[in-house]
């Protein structure tokens, strides 16, 4: 009789282990889906944030006639530019490039955000006045961002568009 009860206990215990394993598998699968969804949402928020921060800079320039004049005059790379215009133009670029550098944190794990940042960087870096500004102000940025932007400028000067696959490590 005791042996039968022992066998029954082993049987019930085995069923309990199987039920527990099935339950844990369902929980792991559910948790994995939730993590994937959270990652997707964070990627969307990062993508939106990159666009908003860069658009905010451009919007501020567009809505202020004086800033717009500074912006358009800043594209001129001639030696006779007004130093005040050069400085104000640089401040606008600084805000724009700080947004791009901050966006690097978002882009690390999201290809869509990384692609958007690359296109924005290349768009601005094609302008000689931006390259000129960068050569003077690059020290204000992190080593990794400086290396990346420097590599983009070198490549653009040789006629290419540098993407993340072609960037030096760092």
Contact indicator for 113, 47 with CB cutoff of 8 Å:
yes
Q: Given a cut of 60, is residue 168 above it in pLDDT?
A: no
Q: Between these two residues, 53 and 122, which has the higher pLDDT value?
A: 122
Q: What are the boundaries of each domain within the chain?
A: 2-165
Apex CA 47: angle with CA 45 and CA 51, to 5°? 115
Predicted confidence at residue 133, as pLDDT, reads 92
**With a threshold of 0.85, does the pTM exceed it?**
no
Locate 48 and state its tokens: 């939106």
Dihedral over Cα of 106, 107, 109, 113: its sign: positive
Q: Given a cut of 80, is residue 2 above it in pLDDT?
A: no
Predicted confidence at residue 166, as pLDDT, reads 47
Share of the chain above pLDDT 90, in %: 19
């Amino acid at each position: 009789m005791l042996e039968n009860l022992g066998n029954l206990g082993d049987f019930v215990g085995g069923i309990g282990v199987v039920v527990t394993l099935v339950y844990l598998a369902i929980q792991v699968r559910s948790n994995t889906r939730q993590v994937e969804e959270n990652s997707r949402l964070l990627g969307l928020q990062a993508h939106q944030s990159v666009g908003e921060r860069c658009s905010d800079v451009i919007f501020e320039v567009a809505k202020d006639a004086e800033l717009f004049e500074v912006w358009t005059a800043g594209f001129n790379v001639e030696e006779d530019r007004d130093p005040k215009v050069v400085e104000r133009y640089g401040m606008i670029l600084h805000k724009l490039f700080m947004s791009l550098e901050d966006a690097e944190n978002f882009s690390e794990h999201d290809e869509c955000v990384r692609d958007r940042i690359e296109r924005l960087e290349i768009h601005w870096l094609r302008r000689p006045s931006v390259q000129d500004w960068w050569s003077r102000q690059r020290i204000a940025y992190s080593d990794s961002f400086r290396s990346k932007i420097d590599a983009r400028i070198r490549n653009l000067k040789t006629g290419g568009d540098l993407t993340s696959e072609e960037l030096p490590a760092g």
